[in-house]
Amino acid sequence: MLVLAAFSWTGCKRLHVNGLGDQLAPSNDRDWKPEVATVPFAEVDGRQYTLRNIRNCNYVTAEDFVVDYYDR
């Protein structure tokens, strides 16, 4: 268990030292592929919640698909 903890710490530290930490930081301000560029969100109205932009992919083949969004 101690070895695993040490490996995890050095692995994270190594990414930061090599300058990859900034590249791996989460961000919505990137050039995303069109099929994943729309961000889902929730609207709250009292006790009612509405989820918007839920992604639904219909796959024709492994590489060919149609992206559709819906609200619930």
Place of tokens 């791996």: 24
Rounded distance, CA 67 to CA 40, Å?
14
Instruction: Report which residue type is found at 70.
Output: Y
The token pair at 28 is 């919505």
pLDDT in tens, 43-70: 999 999 999 999 999 999 988 999 999 9
Better-predicted residue by pLDDT, 43 or 7: 43
Distance CA 43, CA 52 (A): 8
Task: Kindly report the pTM of this predicted structure.
Answer: 0.58
